[in-house]
Amino acid sequence: MNPTLFHLSAGILFLCGFLESVSAQPLEAGAGLLIGLPQSEFRRNVNGVGGGLSGYLAYAPEEQPFSLGIQLAIVNYGSEDTKAIIYGPAVPVSGKVTTSNNILSCHLLGRLQPNTGSLRPYVEGLIGWNNLFTNTMVTDEEADEPVHSDTNLNDNAFSYGGGGGLLIRLSGPDMDNPDGAANGWFLSFGARYLFGGKAKYLKEGSIRRENGTLIFSTLESTTDLFIFSIGAAYHF
């Protein structure tokens, strides 16, 4: 299995298990799209903008203005495709080599926010880790199926940060009473700055072939990210 999909699937299964174990509690769950902008030393080494997915699950009691939970995200900060000839027991076939550079993050999440009402601004703090990994997949273009996958580099870094955002009610049992119960669907907007510790990683162009030998140009720096997100949330 593609390591990116494996990490994301493991995170989703963890969230589902956690949700089942605390189903009787007041919970808030959300997911959405994100844009990640490398900062500081990371920005000097990595050009461009990253994109990905994020999700969270939090304990959010209606009678208290806070929530506590866990946040997961996957960010792709660069990928490249090249052509290759695949040799095997049969005749050589045309193949595609896809190399993707990714960050999987897992953070404990604490928010100050009202858990009732139609507009719910929040400020948050996060602490956790980032896993930076580069994966290469070889695909048989004729059969349209992967034939080989390999993780070229994998490293971890401590991560912490903070941010803020806004939840806007879309539906729920108290639409006629904006100050009423907590349950319902929300549109969510957010931004956060994450300070990432030093890690080794690759970027687009870091893997090249010279005289039949693969050369890896490994980079090392802090891994700060500024993240914008938009998505949906539901308060149970």
Band of pLDDT at residue 13, cut at 50, 70 and 90: low
Of 14-23, 30-39, 105-114, the range with the lowest mean pLDDT is 14-23
The closest alpha carbon to 120, from 156, 159, 164, belongs to: 164
Query: How far is the CA of 55 from the CAs of 88, 104, 105, 224, in angstroms?
Result: 41, 12, 11, 19
In the chain the first and final C-alpha atoms are separated, in Å, by 33
Please give the model's pTM, rounded to 2 decimal places. Answer: 0.81
Average confidence score pLDDT of the chain:
84
Alpha-helical segments (H) within the chain: 3-21, 40-45
- pLDDT at position 47 is 80
Residue 15 pLDDT > 80, yes or no? no
State the CB neighbour count (10 A cutoff) for residue 119: 11
Highest mean predicted confidence (pLDDT) among 2-16, 113-127, 208-222: 113-127
Note the pLDDT tens digit of each residue in 196-230: 999 999 998 887 777 767 788 899 999 999 999 99
**Segment 136-162 mean pLDDT:** 82
Residue 154 pLDDT > 90, yes or no? yes
The closest alpha carbon to 81, from 94, 62, 107, 100, belongs to: 100
Residue 181 pLDDT > 90, yes or no? no
**Segment 67-94 mean pLDDT:** 78
